[in-house]
Amino acid sequence: MNSVETQLSKVIQGEIHTENQFRKFYSVDASSYQVIPKIIVIPKNEKDVINTIKIARKFKTSVTVRGAGTGLVGSALNRGIILDMKNFDSIKIKKNYAIVGPGVIKGALDRVLEKNKKFFPPNPSIGAFCSIGGMLGNNSSGSRSLKYGSIIDNVIEVTIIDGNGNKIILPKDKNFSNKIQKKIKINSKKIPNVSKSSSGYRIDKILSKNDSHKIIIGSEGTLGIVTSAKLKIKNIPKKRILFVIEYNSIKNAIKDCIFVNNTNPSAIEFVDKITLQQINHKFQRNTKCLLFVEYDEKINQNDKKMKSLISGKIVKKLTKKQDVEQWWKYRDSSLFYSLKNIKKENRIPHVIEDAAVPIERLTELFSILEKISKKFKTKSIVYGHIGNGNLHVRLIGERKKPSLIKNIATYYFDEIIKIGGTITAEHGDGLARSEFIKKQYGKTNYQTFQEIKKLFDPKNILNTGKIISEKSTIIKNFEKL
């Protein structure tokens, strides 16, 4: 028998699995989708990754790399081969950077860094559980990305295996970096006008050939499998101050957010009524939402200034590490609180959960959501990284109506694009949004994306169907609705 599995079993030093329980395990992630793969390879080393890709090329089978499977839009799900990179778990800490394998779990990196009084700034709310590979794949960020940027701003170098099975180090490989730069034709009018985005390939970040590694960040494993990454690390701030501010009007919270954003905070986060009702504190009865504002420098100065900057009421001013961490836990649990509050049959799968708009247009984002409520008879729960204009939305409505979900998404994304926003700020495109990328970026930029894909993966085997997509996948493959 000359099957993919037979060929793989001749050369792979790691594990190969085709048992049903493995295929089922790797068929889901934290999204609402399910796609059953054929084979799971757990490579032991780089040679295994190269051999898997070469065999997959021969058999025209897709290869999709997976981290911890906490992605929210099915980016790591596919048919064909799934590569689980958990054995790539080495961590080396230097003065201002760390060299890590993609299988390193964020919590493990945090613990090692803390011992060295360092931290890696991007901090997804899922906290300790995601992997570095998945963070690179999605261009993840978090609350502190407001000050420190997303992953794309915090990576120095990546080593990848491309769709031909070649090892490439970017931006070190000058020849390949030149090739990337030559492919880039950009229509800047169609680039989202936001401080962070995980939609499409981030061609707007490649200002010179020294930025060539940034094309990999957010590419969802469609251009190469990252086998190692050199990450920027920072000294842990000596002190933090966290203000929790209550508002009886969302409009006032937005106004304050815009003022506070000019004062270099390390985070400005938003939660609506659903989250605040879960917090062990007595807020005023008419409180509609909270802002969490954190500074990690000039603590006294910012403390003195805060009251005069805002119209909301400060209900907590926290400086003790434990208290700050406890209150961040409330914010980070927003997704959990929102799910807890919606009956399963009314949970619309998350497909519009991650847009961002220029912050001066946040009021319009809330009006769009109100229009959606009226037009499609839904309700929404909102929380997120408001300082970046990035709000996470959970929709409550009729779950078992996939056509409704597609109509809502089409309407929402059209409106978001019109006001200069991105359809995804940090969760990526995956199965939910890949088909909307052309609309987001327009023809010229999309053609550049296609050229880039061809350069890295001419046979289209890497995470086939994501980012560059011919078919609509938004309402296909939902796990039992």
Binding site for ligand FAD (CB under 6 A): 29-30, 64-72, 75-76, 85, 102, 124-126, 130-131, 133-138, 140-142, 220-221, 225-226, 335, 426-427, 463
Name the residue nearer to ligand FAD (CB basis): 191 or 462: 462
Shortest distance, CB of residue 41 to ligand FAD, whole angstroms?
13
Give least dist CB 161 to ligand FAD, A: 9
- One DSSP character per residue, 37-68 reads -SEEEE-SSHHHHHHHHHHHHHHT--EEEESS
Residue number, 138 or 302, with CB nearest to ligand FAD: 138
Quote the least distance from Cβ 1 to ligand FAD, whole Å. Answer: 29
Residue 248 CB, shortest distance to ligand FAD, in Å, is 27
Contact predicate 467/429, CB 8 Å: yes
Measured CA to CA, the distance from residue 355 to residue 373 in angstroms comes to 17
For the CB of residue 366, give the shortest distance to ligand FAD in the complex, in Å: 20
End-to-end CA distance of the chain: 38
313: which strand partners? 246
| Cβ–Cβ < 8 Å for 342, 396 | yes
In sequence order, what DSSP letters do the residues of 101-145 get, joined into one string? -TT-BHHHHHHHHHHTTEE-S---TTGGGSBHHHHHHHT---TTH
Beta strands in 273-356, from DSSP E residues, in sequence order: 289-295, 313-318
Q: In sequence order, what are the residues at sequence separation of 6 or more whose Cβ sits closer than 8 angstroms to the Cβ of residue 307?
A: 314
Between 92 and 307, whose beta carbon lies closer to ligand FAD? 92
Cα(71)–Cα(399) distance, integer angstroms: 20
Residues 476, 402: Cα–Cα separation, whole Å: 9
C-beta of 228 vs 440, nearer to ligand FAD: 228
Q: Which residues pair with 39 in a beta bridge?
A: 81
Query: Which is nearer to ligand FAD, 376 or 389 (by Cβ)?
Result: 389
Nearer to ligand FAD, 72 or 267 (CB): 72
Cα distance between residue 274 and residue 262, in whole Å: 28
The distance between the two most distant Cα atoms of the chain, rounded to a whole number of Å, is 75
Give me the least distance between CB of 284 and ligand FAD, in Å please: 28
Nearer to ligand FAD, 62 or 448 (CB): 62
Q: Shortest approach of ligand FAD to residue 375 CB, angstroms? A: 28
Q: Are 289 and 273 in contact (CB under 8 A)?
A: yes
CB closer to ligand FAD, 133 vs 312: 133
Q: How far is the CB of 282 from ligand FAD (least distance, A)?
A: 27
Those residues with Cβ within 8 angstroms of residue 468's Cβ, 6 or more apart along the chain or in another chain: 222, 434, 449, 450, 453, 460
